[in-house]
Amino acid sequence: HMKKSIWILGFTLVLLAAFSGVLWSFSPEPSHEGAQEASPAVSAYLSVDGLYEHKEITVHPGDTVLMVLEEAYAADPAVRLRSKEYSGLGTLVTGIGGLENGTEGKYWQYRVNGAVPQVGAGSYLVAEGDDIEWFFATSNQ
């Protein structure tokens, strides 16, 4: 009779432990996911040949150089951004304002903090204080 009581007690404890584990997994815990969404916007700078010179802009975590240019176009129709999507390669900026790639052998390119990155504008993540410059020049620069 004693073995049966110990077994029932043990089984009950196991059930209680399992049940409390289930409750624990559903209990509200502080989430750090919301912290990312609430990350503060930061400042960066945008220059575009013929349009802007060192204009202060707001960027959010995860923004790319291409997103910054798209946002500038959404806010200012004079940007007249034109781009083309290439499968496997990403998006190529083909025109800004009145200047189209290939005109006089020049193409739209970008620099961040004075250096030309080796990745497309759709892959380069903007950081606080970055100085983004879109320039129209021959491709050997």
- The string of pLDDT tens digits covering residues 48-84 is 999 999 999 999 999 999 999 999 999 999 999 999 9
**Which of the two residues, 105 and 141, has the higher pLDDT score?**
105
Question: Does the pLDDT of residue 42 top 80, yes or no?
Answer: yes
Give dist(CA 125, CA 45) in Å, integer: 14
State both tokens at 85: 């999507």
pLDDT value of position 69: 97
* Residue 113 dihedral angles phi and psi, to the nearest 5°: 55, 40
pLDDT tens digit sequence for 22-38: 334 443 444 444 444 55
Q: What is the pLDDT of residue 63?
A: 97
User: Dihedrals φ, ψ of 93, to 5°?
Assistant: -75, 120
